[in-house]
Structure 1
Amino acid sequence: VDLFDFLHLSARPWIYVFVAAGLVALMYGASARTRLLAQASDDVGSHGEAATQARQSLRFTWTAAMTVIVALGWVTLRTIDESFTFNIRNYTIAFRDVLESWVLLPMRDAFLTIPWVGLVLLFGVIGYFINGRRPALLAAGMIAFISLAGFWWQAMWIFYQLTFAVLLAIIFGVPFGIWAATTARRNAVVQVILDFFQTFPSFVYLFPAIMFFGVSETAIIVAVVLSASVPAIRYTIFGIQNVPKPLIEASTMAGCTRRQTLWKVKLPMAIPEIMLGINQTIMFGLFMVMIAGLIKTTGLARELIEAQPNIDSGRAIVAGIAVACIGMSIDLLISEWSDKRKKQLGLIEA
């Protein structure tokens, strides 16, 4: 059986109409469910609650029925028609080759040339400017430990994968979160989708990435982006929607349009929360990069995988501490900056 047989998609347009109808049904059902739950919380009479629950059950049943229809229609039509096909994997493999040749491999080589002294100084200077000696010494000390433990180039390999994947997750997640936070309906639909993605175990994201891009660096990057985009979107929505109401009312009374309120009031006040979301994105990405050690990869993930069958406990423990140092040093700097910025904006007490 060809592992990629399911990627041979039927080209007849009415099949995609079935799929589009199912997606619309799911999104509409999710938004209707959210609205009905909000109405149910406002109702005080038992009659109102019963009516709301009945409508909610009806909408849920309709959404489930549409989902089943789409699934059965897809399987039936794919079984009947096998002649009109095109292979998506041909394009994904070509994209993988271009990305790795022109972006990933040069970026990897550049990261491997970074001296450990330079990165230690960089983390120390950033920590000092953020909040003085304490974060500077802690962050620099964690980075120095990685070099002293003898895992420097392995850590740089992880840094390169993490940097590129997290950058893509931020580029996608933050603007998407801003778009979703502008209306309650968008937020309701997006929250359902985010909850759906967060129910997957982390290693599950490797399967579609491998199927489309093979066992490669690109597959690891794609899996990290899929996993790490969720906190970037969620924290962006949370930050924008939790801007103090008096500030929004003041901007409205001053004559600001919705766009001006978003860019000049909501976003500046939401930056600390967005940065915390980026922090969580980095943590999710680091965790996913380590799981990617189960497939073709190098660096600290490979050190941990190889240490287990050889019962090399010392090597595994030191490599694990090095991974923890990467995460804790980045988390320290971002958390310190976020708390400092919140105090400056008056969101928390100084």
Structure 2
Amino acid sequence: MSEQTTPSQGVRFQTVEAGYQEQRIDNYLMAQLKGVPKSLVYRILRKGEVRVNKKRVKPEYKLQVGDIIRIPPVRVAEANPLPSAKLDQVQALQAHILYEDDVLMVMNKPAGLAVHGGSGLQFGLIESLRALRPDAKQMELVHRLDRETSGCILIAKRRSALRSLHEQLRNKTMDKQYLALVRGQWQKHVKLIAAPLLKNTLKSGERVVRVDAEGKPSETRFRIVEKYAQCTLVEASPITGRTHQIRVHALHAGHPIACDPKYGDAEFDQSMQTLGLSRLFLHAHQLTFSHPQTGKAVTVNAPLDDILMNTLKQLGSRKYS
């Protein structure tokens, strides 16, 4: 379904309320101007079309209560309508909630489910959760997972929680650990991949990432969990949060992830498919963060789905000696 836009609105002025205290202006604008490309948000900031208290501000400016923001006319995509909470695929997500309280939620996202609608999808994870929790008016994704990746994903139910969790991401105090099955024997001494990543968007709209000296600094830690005859189960901990980071860093190390439709190895993938692996073997299995209200450490674990578990069981008879 092609994205529709509403006509440009006139210049508008918004006064910052307590719920937005200390939020960066770029993040605020992206939340307010849903459907507007990130590049346009930064362009209107750079050109001074956005003003705070009649002054130009940089993207990292942190909002204060009472600030008056001038937002120029932009074309905003129409919001996707929320799905019915009665839909089977929406109801099924209830069983994937790993942790929930008044201010946040952690989901075990199924593989194949996009985190949000768009690009031909009527709805994704966040729209489904808003339908399930209609009282949580401020519900937002804290971070993202690729559509093909399963596992722990964090959702804030209040803006104050979103700010706290975003700060943990920026300060690299949130710990995300993934399990990935990769081709070949991972070398014990390869514990850190530090390779800059450059994102390209093809004419088709598909995003492809590659290691490039002109890319953004990117680091991922790797640890061997189990060795098999032709592959290795590794734990990957991203230090930075770039698009497709673990997938491209694994490929850069010479060990593409099993059944990766973008960066995989066809021959290896075919051998894994004979074991019943029909999806990318990348799973966010553990998430550790400080609770926004109590400050206490929270660790949540997401079990592997049946496809990944069965693949490992079959590989168990082919251990590396």
What range describes the TM-score normalised by the shorter chain of this pair?
Answer: under 0.3
Report which structure shows greater RCO (CA 8 Å, sep ≥6). 1
TM-score by length of 2: 0.27
Structure that is richer in strand per residue? 2
Q: TM-score scaled by structure 1?
A: 0.26
Higher helix share: 1
Higher-Rg structure is 1
